[in-house]
């Protein structure tokens, strides 16, 4: 069933206040739900029926204004409860039950170990009680929780804890009052044997807030970084955006059973433990960094999401794109130093290209604000989140930071307390900037990644340069033709020394200004004429990746080598290098398919050495600039994907780089060790990244000393980054010691889920040697091991997902056995957890882009799942249908 954005109707009723009384029990929980309901004046009484969503609930009783309601007044269905004739304000009281223990979907209230955890976004609240489970119904919540004091000593919900008291039979009761009206998706409840790290934190306005991080006792030693990150986030939101914490209590809970990263429930954020827990033994440098950004993200939702929420789920990017943008800015500000910030921007763009661009080119392609969906949970995508953040970033670039900030302030001031659409944000920006943003708004409605093509013409006599710029966006499902976008397009013209030349457009008076010049693209094709240039410039285009596009700059290899060596914009310097590496693998792939001899451009191999030795570059930058682009990224740039050809070419290019620069890599490996106490901050983390990258190349070059260093690193490392890097390098090498190391690591790590998951991921992303394909068998074996549970999303995301999406050479076996395994797993997950299942199901959506025997085997696997459509959840069905029908 398809839901369309244009079909939005205001709710027939509103709920002003709700009181929920829980009698918690893992097997069967009872809820008494008392709602103060009234007809919505904005709906003009067209519909007097009150519809309350409900899913997998047992209804016990319904009362209206305290009196049992006659059965003729209501109808119960699979979707919920319809109560007829509510024309006046009324009190509706519902009693229902549900079973947390039977809830394997991890939506609603479920069991994790000994703890009860809730997850309501997007539509989990209807699995707790009958309610108007839509984001535009905002109510004040009072939550009373009763439970066994022994089993559930800690009881948490949104808002302020009121009275707590002991009851008979070893039970106790706590009442929470949340002063802020909120939609049901922000409701949260946690009960368990938890402990906390807490701290009183002084807010800017002088109030003291009580911050706490709640975990199971064995995890208390992993909460310091979480609390520190929260304090930084609170301070940053005050300073950068003038937004303050509006609560006296702010709580974070971590759980190992969670469908995604984290959730911004009002005042009670719930996190997947992999996004919240850290200490030097269980978290890598990247984990530390990621945790800070996710803690920030969820905290920032308190304003962009909670105080200002969504009218309907189509508007999801209004809170997610904006909040990702905010968390990216937070992370950048925490890094401070420009080169570290640039590295972060580079990493964000790598993930956009690796995951969002393919989505934009897939049967699931959708604008950041979709027009329709079957299952909203399938639309928590890279497009809505990451491309959404790019769109907000473009606005800041176009309007300038100050105007953007004024627009943001206006957005907050005007919409606080309401449930709005994306228009609200654009209207605020329009009003402060006085710019017409109607063309810009196409970014919200058109899917697909724009291609921008630039051709330049140098006129030596007149010393002028003409740039011809054209943009096109490929058609996507339901959108055959696209209109041109408005996008920022910062450009610099570099002289032969790499210095930015003064820039002056034809018709402009005065002298040109040196530096980056902001152009705006608005037409299908446009020309820009630069005059009074001293020499023929080299172009540095779309600096900083201002617009999320695929750029064909029309540069020669010579020019791109120049940019890789000289561009002063670190993003573009990286991009030039990365593009050359991608091109090398692509050329090698083609040559191999055509059985033509091919040599990697020696100038590229030399540039690698030059970057390695460049004293002006940070180790972190060198690590991203010299990292091989993944096979997936390379494949994205090919018209037809042949994973085995790409893999062989990738290995050949990597080995050639390694051999040519072996001594420089060994030197970098030895120079960038980080002895002493572990410090996860950007500088030492950058050193470790470069050292481990260099060791990888050195091992690829067959260097024996590198192998010894890596083995040694595995046993002596005092931080997980180095330990894990060493293990990964050994697992992917042919050293005889590798099996012992794998077993040692497993023995040491099996008791800690965070570490076990890392171990699983190394296994599923490993390579086999000597033409054997062993990883599939290995993964199949691991699925059956008792330390793997298919019910645990993190286990699935560590073992199965990376195998299906990040190990192309091992997954895409010519006989289709990898796909058959995928189909088995999708069907099994579908019965257990539809949200996790549909994520896994997406692994084959781009089947049409593969070489012919693989494409048809992928198609067969999709068909085999589709043949069981009667059993499929709406989540998985939508993915399979879209994959097949496009
Ligand atoms: N709002 C949460 C976050 O970004 C994610 C919720 C995901 N929900 C879902 N149904 N996929 O920050
Ligand atoms: Zn979010």
Give pLDDT tens digits for 328-373.
Answer: 999 999 998 999 999 999 999 999 999 999 999 999 999 999 999 9
Atom number of ligand 1 nearest to Cα 301: 12
Q: Is the predicted pLDDT of residue 768 greater than 90, yes or no?
A: no
**Is 272 near ligand 1, meaning CB less than 6 Å away?**
no
CB 851 within 8 A of CB 859: no
Helix 643-660 to helix 682-700 angle, to the nearest 10 degrees? 100
pLDDT of residue 721: 98
Three-state secondary structure call for residue 175: strand
Residue 263 alpha carbon to ligand 2 centre in Å: 7
178 is written with which tokens? 């949340």
Residue 329 alpha carbon to ligand 2 centre in Å: 14
CB 660 within 8 A of CB 641: no
Three-state secondary structure call for residue 392: helix
Ligand 1, atom 8: nearest CA belongs to which residue? Answer: 121
pLDDT of residue 683: 97
Alpha-helix runs per DSSP H in 495-595:
557-566, 570-593
Residue 43 alpha carbon to ligand 1 centre in Å: 29
868 is written with which tokens? 């069981």
Tell which residue, 656, 546, 650, 676, has the closest CA to residue 592. Answer: 650
Ligand 1, atom 1: nearest CA belongs to which residue? Answer: 263
Q: What is the 3-state secondary structure (H, E, C) of 307-320?
A: CEEECCHHHHHHHH
**Is 237 near ligand 1, meaning CB less than 6 Å away?**
no
Whether residue 298 lies in the annotated active site: yes
Atom number of ligand 1 nearest to Cα 260: 7
401 is written with which tokens? 């930071």
610 is written with which tokens? 């030059």
CB 481 within 8 A of CB 524: no
Q: What CA–CA distance (Å, rounded) separates 634 from 842?
A: 20
- Please choose from 108, 121, 135 the residue to mutate so as to test ligand 1's pocket, defined by most ligand atoms within 8 A of CB: 121
Ligand 1, atom 9: nearest CA belongs to which residue? Answer: 377
Residue 750 alpha carbon to ligand 2 centre in Å: 31
Q: What CA–CA distance (Å, rounded) separates 312 from 191?
A: 30
Q: Which residues surround ligand 2, an ion (CB under 5 A)?
A: 320, 323
For the stretch 796-851, pLDDT in tens is: 999 999 999 999 999 999 999 999 999 999 999 999 999 999 999 999 999 999 99
Residue 294 alpha carbon to ligand 1 centre in Å: 12
- Please choose from 315, 380, 879 the residue to mutate so as to test ligand 1's pocket, defined by most ligand atoms within 8 A of CB: 380
**Per the residue annotation, which of 264, 298, 359, 636 is the catalytic one?**
298
- Please choose from 107, 252, 263, 276 the residue to mutate so as to test ligand 1's pocket, defined by most ligand atoms within 8 A of CB: 263
Kindly state the percentage of the chain with pLDDT values over 90.
97
Give the pLDDT band of residue 886 (cuts 50, 70, 90). low
- Phi-psi group of 409: left, alpha or beta (phi > 0 → left; psi -120 to 50 → alpha; rest → beta): alpha
**Is 264 near ligand 1, meaning CB less than 6 Å away?**
yes
Q: What is the CB neighbour count within 10 angstroms for residue 150?
A: 10
Residue 501 CB partners (closer than 8 Å, separation 6+): 492, 493, 494, 495, 512, 514, 533, 534, 535, 537
**Is 377 near ligand 1, meaning CB less than 6 Å away?**
yes
**Is 607 near ligand 1, meaning CB less than 6 Å away?**
no
pLDDT of residue 736: 80
Q: What CA–CA distance (Å, rounded) separates 423 from 330?
A: 25
Phi, psi of 146 (to 5 degrees): -120, 135
For the stretch 273-320, pLDDT in tens is: 999 999 999 999 999 999 999 999 999 999 999 999 999 999 999 999
Residue 301 alpha carbon to ligand 2 centre in Å: 7
For the stretch 756-765, pLDDT in tens is: 999 999 999 9
Q: What is the CB neighbour count within 10 angstroms for residue 747?
A: 9
Kindly state the percentage of the chain with pLDDT values over 70.
100
**Is 263 near ligand 1, meaning CB less than 6 Å away?**
yes
Ligand nearest to the CA of 271: 1
Q: What is the pTM of this model?
A: 0.98
pLDDT of residue 739: 86
Q: Is the predicted pLDDT of residue 770 greater than 70, yes or no?
A: no
For the stretch 46-79, pLDDT in tens is: 889 999 999 999 999 999 999 999 999 999 999 9
95 is written with which tokens? 């009693």
Lowest mean pLDDT among 157-161, 379-383, 584-588, 741-745: 741-745
How does DSSP assign 42-78, residue by residue? GGTTS---EEEE-SS-EEEEEEETTEEPPGGGEEE-S
Q: What CA–CA distance (Å, rounded) separates 632 from 732?
A: 18
Q: For the chain, give the mean pLDDT.
A: 97
Q: Is the predicted pLDDT of residue 137 greater than 90, yes or no?
A: yes
Atom number of ligand 1 nearest to Cα 123: 10
Atom number of ligand 1 nearest to Cα 376: 10
pLDDT of residue 771: 66
791 is written with which tokens? 């019910």
Q: What CA–CA distance (Å, rounded) separates 833 from 268?
A: 24
Q: Is the predicted pLDDT of residue 772 greater than 90, yes or no?
A: no
Tell which residue, 805, 766, 806, has the closest CA to residue 782. Answer: 766
Atom number of ligand 1 nearest to Cα 380: 11
CA 617 to chain centre: 29
**Average of pLDDT values for 187-202?**
98
Q: Is the predicted pLDDT of residue 733 greater than 90, yes or no?
A: no
Ligand 1, atom 5: nearest CA belongs to which residue? Answer: 263
CB 662 within 8 A of CB 703: yes
Residue linked to tokens 């009851």: 167
Atom number of ligand 1 nearest to Cα 377: 10
Residue 261 alpha carbon to ligand 1 centre in Å: 7
pLDDT of residue 864: 98
Residue linked to tokens 């240039």: 533
Residue 402 CB partners (closer than 8 Å, separation 6+): none
Q: How many CA atoms lie within 13 A of 556 on its CB side?
A: 6
Residue 327 alpha carbon to ligand 1 centre in Å: 15
Q: Which residues pair with 456 in a beta bridge?
A: 467
For the stretch 521-569, pLDDT in tens is: 999 999 999 999 999 999 999 999 999 999 999 999 999 999 999 999 9
pLDDT of residue 163: 85
**Is 139 near ligand 1, meaning CB less than 6 Å away?**
no
Helix 775-784 to helix 817-832 angle, to the nearest 10 degrees? 20
**Average of pLDDT values for 252-279?**
98
**Is 120 near ligand 1, meaning CB less than 6 Å away?**
no
- Phi-psi group of 792: left, alpha or beta (phi > 0 → left; psi -120 to 50 → alpha; rest → beta): beta
- Exposure class string for 101-110: b at 16+ Cβ within 10 A, else e: eebbbbbbbb
Q: What is the CB neighbour count within 10 angstroms for residue 343?
A: 27
Q: Is the predicted pLDDT of residue 702 greater than 90, yes or no?
A: yes
């Amino acid at each position: 069933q398809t839901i369309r954005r244009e079909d939005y109707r205001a709710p027939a009723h509103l709920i002003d206040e709700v009181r929920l009384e829980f009698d918690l029990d893992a097997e069967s929980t009872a809820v008494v739900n008392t709602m103060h309901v009234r007809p919505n004046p904005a709906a003009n009484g067209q519909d007097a029926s009150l519809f309350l969503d409900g899913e997998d609930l047992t209804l016990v009783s319904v009362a209206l204004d305290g009196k049992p309601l006659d059965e003729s007044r209501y109808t119960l269905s699979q979707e919920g409860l319809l109560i007829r004739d509510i024309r006046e304000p009324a009190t509706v009281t519902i009693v229902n039950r549900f079973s947390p223990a039977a809830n394997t979907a991890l939506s609603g209230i479920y069991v994790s170990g000994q703890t009860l955890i809730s997850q309501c976004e997007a539509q989990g609240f209807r699995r707790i009680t009958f309610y108007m489970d839509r984001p535009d119904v905002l109510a004040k919540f009072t939550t009373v929780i009763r439970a066994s004091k022994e089993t559930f000593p800690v009881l948490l919900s949104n808002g302020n804890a009121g009275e707590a008291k002991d009851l008979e039979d070893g039970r106790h009761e706590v009442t929470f009052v949340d002063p802020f009206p909120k939609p049901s998706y922000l409701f949260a409840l946690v009960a368990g044997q938890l402990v906390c790290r807490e701290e009183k934190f002084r807010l800017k306005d002088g109030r003291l807030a009580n911050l706490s991080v709640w975990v199971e006792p064995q995890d208390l030693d992993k909460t310091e970084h979480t609390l520190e990150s929260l304090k930084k986030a609170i301070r940053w939101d005050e300073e950068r955006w003038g937004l303050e914490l509006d609560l006296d209590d702010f709580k974070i809970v971590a759980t190992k059973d969670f469908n995604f990263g984290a959730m911004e429930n009002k005042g009670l954020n719930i996190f997947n433990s992999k996004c919240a827990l850290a200490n030097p033994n269980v978290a890598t440098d990247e984990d530390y960094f990621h945790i800070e950004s996710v803690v920030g993200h969820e905290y920032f939702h308190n304003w962009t999401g909670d105080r200002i929420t969504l009218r309907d789920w189509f508007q999801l990017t209004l809170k997610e794109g904006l909040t990702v943008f905010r968390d990216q800015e937070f992370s950048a500000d925490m890094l401070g130093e420009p080169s570290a910030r640039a590295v972060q921007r580079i990493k964000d763009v790598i993930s956009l290209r690796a995951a969002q661009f393919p989505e934009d080119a897939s049967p699931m392609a959708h604008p950041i604000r979709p027009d329709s969906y079957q299952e909203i949970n399938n639309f928590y995508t890279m497009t809505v989140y990451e491309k959404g953040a790019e769109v907000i970033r473009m606005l800041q670039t176009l309007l300038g930071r100050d105007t953007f900030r004024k627009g943001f302030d206006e957005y907050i001031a005007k919409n606080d307390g309401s449930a709005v659409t994306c228009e609200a944000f654009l209207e605020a920006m329009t009003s402060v900037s006085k710019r017409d943003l109607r063309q810009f708004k196409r970014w919200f409605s058109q899917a697909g990644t724009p291609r921008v093509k630039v051709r330049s013409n140098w006129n030596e006599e007149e010393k002028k340069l003409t740039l011809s710029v054209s943009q096109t966006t490929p058609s996507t499902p339901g959108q055959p033709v696209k209109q041109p976008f408005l996008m920022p397009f910062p450009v610099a013209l570099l002289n032969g020394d790499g210095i930015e030349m003064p820039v002056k457009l034809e018709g402009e008076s005065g002298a040109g200004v040196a530096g980056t010049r902001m152009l705006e693209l608005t037409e299908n094709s446009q020309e820009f004429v630069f005059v009074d240039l001293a020499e023929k410039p080299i172009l540095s285009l779309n600096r900083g990746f201002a617009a999320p596009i695929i750029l064909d700059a029309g540069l020669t290899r010579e020019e791109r080598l120049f940019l890789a060596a000289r561009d002063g914009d670190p993003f573009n310097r990286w991009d030039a290098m990365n593009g050359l590496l991608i091109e090398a693998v692509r050329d090698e792939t083609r040559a191999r398919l055509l059985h033509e001899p091919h040599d990697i451009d020696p100038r590229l191999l030399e540039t690698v050495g030059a970057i390695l030795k460049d004293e002006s570059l940070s180790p972190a930058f060198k690590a991203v600039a010299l990292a091989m682009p993944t096979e997936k990224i390379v494949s994205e740039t090919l018209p037809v994907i042949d994973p085995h050809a790409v893999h062989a070419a990738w290995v050949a290019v990597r080995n050639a780089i390694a051999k040519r620069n072996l001594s420089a890599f060994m030197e970098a490996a030895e120079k960038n060790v980080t002895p002493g106490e572990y410090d996860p901050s950007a500088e030492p983390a950058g050193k470790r990244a470069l050292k481990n990258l260099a060791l990888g190349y050195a091992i690829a070059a067959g260097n024996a000393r590198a192998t010894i260093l890596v083995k040694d690193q595995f046993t002596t490392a005092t931080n997980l980054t180095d330990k894990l890097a060493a293990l990964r390098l050994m697992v992917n090498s042919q050293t005889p010691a590798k099996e012992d190391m794998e077993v040692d690591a497993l023995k040491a790590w099996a008791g800690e889920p965070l570490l076990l998951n890392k171990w699983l991921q190394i296994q599923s992303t490993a390579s086999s040697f000597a033409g054997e394909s062993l990883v599939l068998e290995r993964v199949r074996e691991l699925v059956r091991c008792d330390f793997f549970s298919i019910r645990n999303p993190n286990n699935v995301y560590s073992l199965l997902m990376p195998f299906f999406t990040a190990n192309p050479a091992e997954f895409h076996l010519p006989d289709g056995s990898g796909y058959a395994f995928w189909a088995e797993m999708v069907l099994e997950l579908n019965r257990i957890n539809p949200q996790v299942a549909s994520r896994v199901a997406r692994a084959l959506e781009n089947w049409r882009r593969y070489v012919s025997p693989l494409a048809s085997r992928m198609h067969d696997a999709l068909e085999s799942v589709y043949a069981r459509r009667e059993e499929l959840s709406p989540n998985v069905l939508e993915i399979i249908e879209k994959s097949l029908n496009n």
